[in-house]
Amino acid sequence: MRTLATIVVVTLLLTVAPGGALAASATGPTATQASTTAPAGAAGTAALGAATQTDCSFPVSRVDATGTNVTVTGDPDRVVVLAPSAAQTMWELDEEGSVVGLPTGPTTAYLEGSGNRTDVTNQDGTVNREQVVGLEPDLVLAPNIVPNETVSQLRDAGLTVYKVDFGRSLDSITTKVSLFGRFTGACERAAQVNEEFNASLEEIRADAPEDRPRVAYFFFNVTASKGTFIHDAIETAGGDNIAADVGDRPYPPLSDEIVAERNPQWVVRPSSSSLPSGEPWSSTDAYVLDQTLTVDDNLISQPGPRVVEPMRNMSEAFQSTRQVQTDTATATVTGTPTAAGDGGDGDDNSDTPGGETSTDGQPGFGLVAGLVAAALGVLALARRNR
């Protein structure tokens, strides 16, 4: 518990410190540096995908997020993944048979057979280095949030470790699929997964409403800004993310001022987070019209191919957005009601974090409570977003 409390405090400091970010634990190259060593965006994905069609031989070398040139000498029989999203990608590639270790528990339980693997994390979510080394893997796939020190220690133990870069867009998912396919000799399957993924994105884009509703993504008072795959998912599904330009970090706190000023028409939350309550939330169009949506926690928080499922949920909901008419003394609702808007949320939000009262008697978060909630949200999102 002491270690977990320390992580929360550190996360809190990163949240309020200038330049702090979800990926602050990593000291690898910046996005600009990474672009010089690996394909990026749609063009990079296409180039990497094309390469895998003609060459899937070993050895293969790629520069990872630490700036290290990592070489996989042969098709790995034993793979350890230190991230739920990496596990999801391996399952999509039909390479789960080679995975001998992963973070077991709620974040990977949806992957069939994952519970039969060795858990490679400690109770506080950090990497159990001894467990990883003991599995004698041919390849270790690490998320961006794993500290470089841990990566170095695993390498010093003789392991081949590739650290994945921070997922800044949906394109990063297809890039990772191609990369993992290349590392595991599953190039053709990777191309198929990416083709299906991109086709799903095109269908979702085609169904986007002409009038894009204002959307607030809420996860324990943390939201997703521009430069994250969650922001990209919301926008691709047809929403207008009200927090796109909030703060200077990927997952900043969502302030009451932003909520009141930008008045979301939809509130989307992952299933592990309660909905906020009290003002200004209760006066937003989203709450007046009961337009809140709950999406699968793991699938929206993990940069993997299955993110299309919550994206479809959002797309369907956004297409049925209703409007509040404010040109009369009494607001009226227009549009077609949507069953998707409920998303399984109850009406009773009295136990949600947003219902707390600050020291000045105003509803909503006080400064300390808000920052603590933001820290917990970043910690929870970091665990799922690995």
Contact (CB, 8 A) for 116 and 135 = no
Which residues neighbour 339 within 8 Å (Cβ) at sequence distance 6 or greater? none
Class of domain 27-165+170-197: alpha beta
> Which of left, alpha, beta for 170 (phi over 0: left; psi -120 to 50: alpha)?
alpha
pLDDT in tens, the chain (386 residues): 434 443 433 333 333 333 333 333 333 333 333 333 333 334 444 444 444 346 899 999 999 999 999 999 999 999 999 999 999 999 999 999 999 999 999 999 999 999 999 999 999 999 999 999 999 999 999 999 899 999 999 999 999 999 999 999 999 999 999 999 999 999 999 999 999 999 999 999 999 999 999 999 999 999 999 999 999 999 999 999 999 999 999 999 999 999 999 999 999 999 999 999 999 999 999 999 999 999 999 999 999 999 999 999 999 999 999 999 865 444 445 544 333 332 332 223 333 332 222 223 222 333 333 444 445 454 555 555 44
Task: Tell me if residue 348 falls in helix, strand or coil.
Answer: coil
> In the 8-state DSSP scheme, what is residue 127?
B
167, two tokens: 């997922």
- State the fold for domain 208-384: Rossmann fold (3.40.50)
Report pTM: 0.75
Residue with tokens 């978060």: 365
User: Could you tell me where in the chain the CATH 3.40.50.1980 domains are found?
Assistant: 27-165+170-197, 208-384
Distance CA 233, CA 315 (A): 10
Q: CB 48: neighbour CB atoms within 10 A?
A: 25
Tell the burial category of 332 from Cβ atoms under 10 Å away from its Cβ (0-12, 13-18, 19+).
Answer: exposed
